[in-house]
Amino acid sequence: MSRGIFWAILLSSIFGLLALSFLVLIPIILESPAALPWLERRASSAMGRPVLIQGPVRIGLMPRIQIQVSGIRVLAPEGFPEKELLRVDSALLEASIGQLLKDPLRPRSITIRGLTLAMQGDGQGRFGWPQAQLRTPRAPKTQESGSPDHLSLPLSFPGILLGTRLEILDASMLRVDRSGGTHLEIRALDFQLGDPSPDGFQAVSLKGDIRGRSISVQGKLRPDPEGGHGAGEKVSVQLESQLGGNLRATVAGELQTKKGTPGARLRLELEPFSPRSLLPALGLHREGAFPSGWSQVSLWAELVVSPGLLEIPQAELRADQSLFRLSMALRMEPKARVELNLETESLDLDRYFPTPPTPRRRRNSSESGSHEPLKQPSETPAVHKLLGIQWEGSAKIHRLALRGQQLEDVRIFYRFLDRVLYVDDIRINLEGGELWGSGSVEFLGSSPHVHLDLNTRHVQVGPLLEKLARTKFLDGTMQSNWSLDGPWEGDLDRAGQTWQGEADVVLSNGAINGVDLGQLVRSLGLASKEQVARAEARTAFSTLVAHVALAGGSVRVSKASMHARELRILAAGQANLVDKSLDFRLEPELGQQERGEDTAALVVPIWVHGSFSHPKFRADLAGIRKKGEGKLHLTLPSPRELKETLRNFLKGR
C-alpha cells in the first residue's frame, strides 16, 4: 500500500469518527438543561421578542432527523391583556439528512399541537404583534410597557412550506383589544397540508369554529413547475370552503411566493346565501342593517393581493333581483383607504329602508312640527371600524326607487374622510329635468348631520309633488336653487320636520289646480263663500317666482309673485309638513293691460287653507282694495250691492 493511500484512509477515518462523535454529541448537548438559555437566546433573536422553552427538547438523528420541542412561549410586552403572544404545547420537525442538505428550509414534515396565537388589532382591520424591545426571558423585570405604534405580522408568507407535510392541531386564535380585553375568534382549529401527490398537488384541509360558526376548507395546492423551488415560485390554488352551513365559496388562482414580493391573483365565487343568518357570525347585530334586507346574495370577483394592497378589478354582486357591478382597491398604508366604484341597473331603497312610523308630537307644544327625537341605535364596533376608513369613488344607478319616486341615471362622486361623507357631485334625471349639486354628511354626533346645495332645471313639479307630498295642487316647469341643512333620522318626512334651509324657485308655464282665481274674484256670489278645490278648475300662469324658507317643519313663502294672462298674484304663507296643512294669503290683482302697461287694478285677497290634498279657498271681502291704495271700505248690505260696486269699478278701467 502506498503512503498516499494510507494517509487518505487515515484522514477519512478520523473525519468520519469526528462526524460520528459530533452527531452523537449534538443531541446530548442540546437536550441538556444547560443548553436551554442558549436555545432561548437564539430563538429570541430570531423572533425579535422574548422566547421561553418550558418543556424538554428531544433530538434524534437515526434513521432520520427528528427535533421535538415542548412548552414554547413567546412573551407579550407589559400591559398586553395576554401574557403570551404565542404558545405551542409541542412541535415536531422531521427531515432526512439528504433533504436538509439539499434544501434546509424544507423539512419533510412539521406537526404542531396546542397552538394559541394572540394578535392585536390596529383599528383599521389589520392584526399582528405589537413591536417591543427585546429582553432576556429570564429577566422579566425589564419588560417594556406602553401601547405599540406599529403592528407587524409574526410570520412571513408561508410559500416555503409547500412540499412539506404540515399539521396544526387544536389551535386557537385570539383577537386582543387593550381597552376591551380578549375575544376568542377561532378555536378548535385543525389544519393539514398533505404530502405531494404524483401530479404535484398537496391536499389542504382546515376545520374550526369562528364565533360559534363552524368553518371548513378543502382543496389543493401545487407549486408551478416552471417557477422552480424555494423563493420565487408560483403556487396554483383550488379551494372550496363552507361557513356555518350557510356560506359556500370556491377560490381558484395563483399565489406568488417570491421573497419580498408575495401576492396572489384569485377568482372568488360565493354561492347564493342569506345575509340575515351570516351577519351575526360577522358581529353585525344591528337591526335594520342595509344588507339584512337581502334574502339571497351571490358574488364572483377577481382579486389581486399584494403587501398592503387588495384590488378587485371587477366583480358582480347579485342581491335578489338587483345586479351590482363594482371595482375596488383597498390600500392599508399609511392608513386604510378604499376606492369603490359601483354601478347597478336598478335599486329599490323603499324595500330596504321602509318608512318608519310617524313620530309622536310633543304634548303641550305650540311649535309647529315639533316631535320627539328618535333614539339613535348605538354604534357597533363593525360600524365604528368602517367609519374610521377613508373611502372615495363613484356610484351610478340607472333606476332608483325612493319614496315611490323613480329616479333615473343617478351619478354620485364621493369622498369619506374623518367621519365626514363629502358628495362632490350628484346628478339625477328627475321628472323630465335634472337635479344636480353637492353636499356633505357628518357622522360626528348621535345622528348624521346633512348639508346639501342643490339645483334643478326643467323639472316637472306636478308629478314630483304628487309622489312626494301626495298633492296635485301645483303644476309647472321648475328651475330652483336649494340650500338645506339638518340631522338625518332615517326618513324624508322627519327631515322635513327637522331640517332648515331656503330656496329660490321659478315655475314657468304652470297652473294652480283646483281653483280658477279669475272667476273667483269676479263672481261675488262665490266671494262670500268658502270654495272647495274642484278637479276641473285651474289657474294657469306664465311664471311664478318665490323665495322659500324651511324651518320648524314648515315651508314659509315670504314673497312670491305669479303672472297670468289676466292676473298678477302676490302670495305669502306657509305649508305645515307635519299635518300637511296650508295657510296662504293670495292677493290677485285684477285689471287690464294697455300697450304693455298695467292699468289700475283691484286687489281681492284670498285665503287658502285646508290640507295638501283638499285645499279650500275663501275671498277676504274686508281686504279688497285698489292697487297702491288702502282698503276699500265698502258698505255691503248684500252680495248684490257688492257685485254692482265691482262691476262699476271694472267698467271704469
pTM: 0.68
- Quick one: DSSP state of residue 196? P
- Please give the single-letter amino acid code of residue 315: A
Q: How far apart are CA 121 and CA 199, in angstroms?
A: 40
DSSP 39-96: HHHHHHHHHTS-EEE-S-EEEE-SSSEEEEEEEEEEEPPTT-SSSEEEEEEEEEEEE-
pLDDT in tens, 529-584: 555 556 578 889 999 999 999 998 899 998 888 888 777 888 899 988 888 888 98
| Alpha-carbon gap, residue 566 to 592, rounded angstroms | 7
Q: How many other CB atoms are found less than 10 A from the CB of residue 591?
A: 19
Best CA proximity match to 316, nearest among 293, 340, 344, 288:
344
pLDDT (0 to 100) of residue 500: 93
- Whether the CB-CB separation of 541 and 513 falls below 8 Å is answered with no
DSSP readout, 322-363?
A: EEEEEEEEEE-SSS-EEEEEEEEEEEEHHHHSPPPPPPPPPT
- Using only C-alpha atoms, the chain has a radius of gyration, in whole angstroms, of 39
Within 10 angstroms of residue 56's Cβ, the number of other Cβ atoms is 13
Set of cell numbers at residue 141: 423585570
For the stretch 497-520, pLDDT in tens is 888 999 999 999 999 888 887 777
What was the pLDDT predicted at 441? 92
Closest CA to 90 of 145, 187, 167: 167
Phi, psi of 96 (to 5 degrees): -90, 155
Low-confidence ranges of the chain (pLDDT < 50): 134-158, 228-232, 286, 288, 361-369, 525-528, 593-595, 631-638, 641-642, 645, 649, 652-653
For the chain, give every domain's residue range: 26-129+160-195, 453-652
